[in-house]
């Protein structure tokens, strides 16, 4: 048997997907106006449970957003669901018949972040997939490129136990540590709900507005392993 060069495989990869909505400007304008109107109603649409990772000027809506009847919300819900379903089907190798037997349940909400608002490191329990859709990324702050940045953290707990020249400059997808994500208007990013992430302090003047959601998926008629309540 002849010798061969080492073959590199990727174990324990973390799938992160993103999609850009075409002709998103009109929809994003409608969503922005709707969400700012709901914010102005005080606590009527605010999520009432205390979240200890949220700091500063950050409004979080109730978690029933994807059930709202408003036409722009219905369009966004359908588009986000379609993109997530494609990712789930591709990664799991499901055929169309298997996908037809799946039930996707969602918690969804909007965030309006104003100057100095931020969110500490967290993940999203009791869900398999999470997503963030950018309605408006807010202002670009030239001297602070980390303003409003999303930072994802490596889920491999002991990955940083030792570093030297043998692993300090690993190329993607084998990098270690953190990955930064900068929102673009009309773009959706999808990631496993276990993936810890944080939102850096936003330093702009215009509101930064995103829609976030969690999804848990079961076959129709199957008893879910965990069913989040609408107060979670």
Per domain, the residue ranges of the chain are 54-155+174-219
Compute the half-sphere exposure of residue 104: CA atoms within 13 Å on the CB side of its CA. Answer: 24
* Stretch 64-91: mean pLDDT: 98
When computed from its CA atoms, the radius of gyration of the chain, rounded to whole angstroms, is 19
At residue 231, does pLDDT exceed 60? no
Banded pLDDT at 96 (limits 50, 70, 90): very high
**204, 115 contact by CB (below 8 A):** yes
pLDDT at 218 over 60: yes
Query: How large is the average pLDDT for residues 56-81?
Result: 97
Confidence of residue 222 (pLDDT cuts 50, 70, 90): confident
Q: For position 213, what pLDDT does the model report? A: 98
| Upstream peptide bond of 173 is cis (omega within 30 degrees of 0) | yes
Task: Answer with the residue of higher pLDDT: 10 or 73.
Answer: 73
pLDDT of the residue at 49:
86
100-143 pLDDT tens trace: 999 999 999 999 999 999 999 999 999 999 999 999 999 999 99
- At residue 224, the pLDDT reads 61
pLDDT reading at 229 higher than 60? no
Judge whether residue 230 has pLDDT over 90: no
- In whole angstroms, give the CA distance from residue 181 to residue 82: 22
Q: What is the pLDDT of residue 16?
A: 97
Mean pLDDT of the region 63-74: 98
Q: How confident is the model at residue 85 (pLDDT cuts 50, 70, 90)?
A: very high
pLDDT at 181: 96
* Across 17-40, average pLDDT: 97
What is the C-alpha separation between 150 and 153, in angstroms, rounded? 10
The hierarchical CATH code for the domain 54-155+174-219 is 2.60.120.620
pLDDT band at residue 1, thresholds of 50, 70 and 90?
A: low
Q: How does the average pLDDT of the chain come out, rounded? A: 93
Adjacent-strand bridge partners of 54: 119
Residue bearing the bigger pLDDT, 194 or 226: 194
Global pTM value: 0.92
Is the per-residue pLDDT at 24 higher than 90? yes
Q: Sheet holding 54-55: strands in order across?
A: 54-55, 118-122, 197-199, 150-153, 178-181
pLDDT over 90 (residue 159): no
Residues 66 and 215: beta-carbon distance below 8 Å: no
Model pLDDT, residue 227: 53
- Rounded CA-CA distance 179/69 in Å is 36
Nearest CA among 129, 145, 149, 22 for reference residue 84: 129
């Amino acid at each position: 048997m002849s010798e061969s060069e080492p073959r590199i495989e990727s174990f324990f990869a973390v799938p992160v997907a993103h999609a850009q909505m075409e002709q998103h400007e009109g929809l994003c304008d409608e969503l922005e106006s709707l969400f700012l109107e709901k914010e102005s109603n005080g606590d009527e649409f605010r999520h009432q449970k205390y979240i200890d990772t949220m700091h500063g000027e950050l409004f979080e809506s109730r978690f029933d957003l994807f059930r709202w009847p408003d036409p722009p919300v219905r369009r966004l819900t359908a588009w986000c669901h379609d993109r997530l379903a494609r990712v789930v089907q591709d990664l799991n190798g499901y055929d169309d018949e298997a996908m037809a037997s799946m039930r996707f349940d969602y918690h969804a909400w909007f965030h309006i972040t104003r100057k100095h608002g931020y969110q500490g490191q967290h993940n999203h329990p009791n869900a398999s997939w999470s997503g963030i859709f950018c309605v408006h990324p807010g202002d670009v702050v030239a001297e602070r490129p980390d303003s409003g940045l999303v930072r994802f953290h490596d889920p491999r707990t002991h990955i940083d136990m030792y570093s030297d020249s043998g692993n300090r400059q690993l190329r993607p997808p084998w990098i270690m540590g953190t990955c930064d994500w900068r929102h673009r208007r009309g773009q959706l990013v999808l990631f496993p709900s276990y993936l810890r992430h944080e939102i850096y302090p936003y330093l702009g003047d215009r509101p930064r507005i995103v829609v976030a959601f969690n999804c848990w998926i079961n076959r129709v008629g199957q008893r879910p392993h965990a069913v989040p309540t609408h107060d979670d």
